[in-house]
Amino acid sequence: MIDYVPLAYRVEPMRPEDIGEVMEIEHVAFSAPWSARAYDYELHYNEMARYYVARAQPAWAPAAAMSISDHEADTPPSFWRRLFGRNIRGPSHAPSMERSAVLGYSGLWLMVDEAHISTLASHPQWRRRGIGELLLLAMMDGSAEIGANIVTLEVRASNVAAQALYRKYGFQVAGRRKGYYSDNGEDALIMTTPQITTPEFVRHVQGLKRALFEHLAR
């Protein structure tokens, strides 16, 4: 059993109230940031989209990461079961918590039987701590949940950090879009997983999940 509560971070659905914090990261993480309006549209009108935010667990969070007070009552336990598997105890079973600052976020669209990762970022001061990976895991689980067979994305040809993360999760380069990024004319690599429902792929992701959860245990 993988117990979610002892992890240093948690992942939950992005809410409209999170967009302000998401935009702060968006502007430092991307050279061509999305607008707050785009996120607002995604959350309100795109039924084929799933967006997530990562936060530090309140008991663990240093003061700098604690900015928003709230009670943890609006995330249904079923979300956590879907996200981390049947035996996961979600924060709804944890003691009352304050809502800490957004440290990263991610999103995906379902297009026919493909999940397309639309965004993924972690706060520059919180990188290399497993937050990007935890968010990617949430999306891999979310993709399987909405019936996707493969997961795909575009990534800047120069973005070696993101490519390393995707490779770790079995994505391979499937093509290149010349001059795809309008801000600097950079090429995009199209990266795609194999079929995510095969026992082999599921085992691969479960193994990475176990290792990450051990690493993030607080």
Ligand X SMILES: CC(C)(COP(=O)(O)OP(=O)(O)OC[C@H]1O[C@@H](n2cnc3c(N)ncnc32)[C@H](O)[C@@H]1OP(=O)(O)O)[C@@H](O)C(=O)NCCC(=O)NCCS
Provide the minimum distance between the beta carbon of 77 and ligand X in the complex, in angstroms, as a whole number.
25
DSSP letters along 34-73, please? Answer: PPHHHHHHHHHH-TTEEEEEEEE-TTT--GGG--B---S-
Could you confirm whether 26 is annotated as catalytic?
A: no
Provide the minimum distance between the beta carbon of 203 and ligand X in the complex, in angstroms, as a whole number.
18
Catalytic member of 114, 154, 180, 186: 154
Catalytic member of 39, 52, 105, 166: 166
Sign of CA dihedral 211, 115, 83, 196: negative
Stretch touching ligand X by CB under 6 A, among 55-63, 79-87, 128-136, 198-206:
128-136
What are the backbone dihedrals phi and psi of residue 34, each rounded to the nearest 5 degrees, phi first? -75, 160
Could you confirm whether 51 is annotated as catalytic?
A: no
Provide the minimum distance between the beta carbon of 152 and ligand X in the complex, in angstroms, as a whole number.
11
Residues 16-55, one symbol each (x = binds ligand X by CB under 6 A, - = not), give: -------------xx-------------------------
Provide the minimum distance between the beta carbon of 29 and ligand X in the complex, in angstroms, as a whole number.
4
Cα radius of gyration (the chain):
17
Q: Does 133 engage in binding with ligand X (CB under 6 A)? A: yes
Stretch touching ligand X by CB under 6 A, among 83-91, 142-150, 153-161, 192-200:
153-161
d(C-alpha 74, C-alpha 52), whole Å: 14
CA distance to 98, 146, 172, 203, per residue, from 104 (Å): 17, 22, 24, 26
* Residues labelled as active-site residues: 154, 166
Binding stretches for ligand X (CB under 6 A): 29-30, 120-122, 127-133, 153, 155, 159-162, 164-165, 168
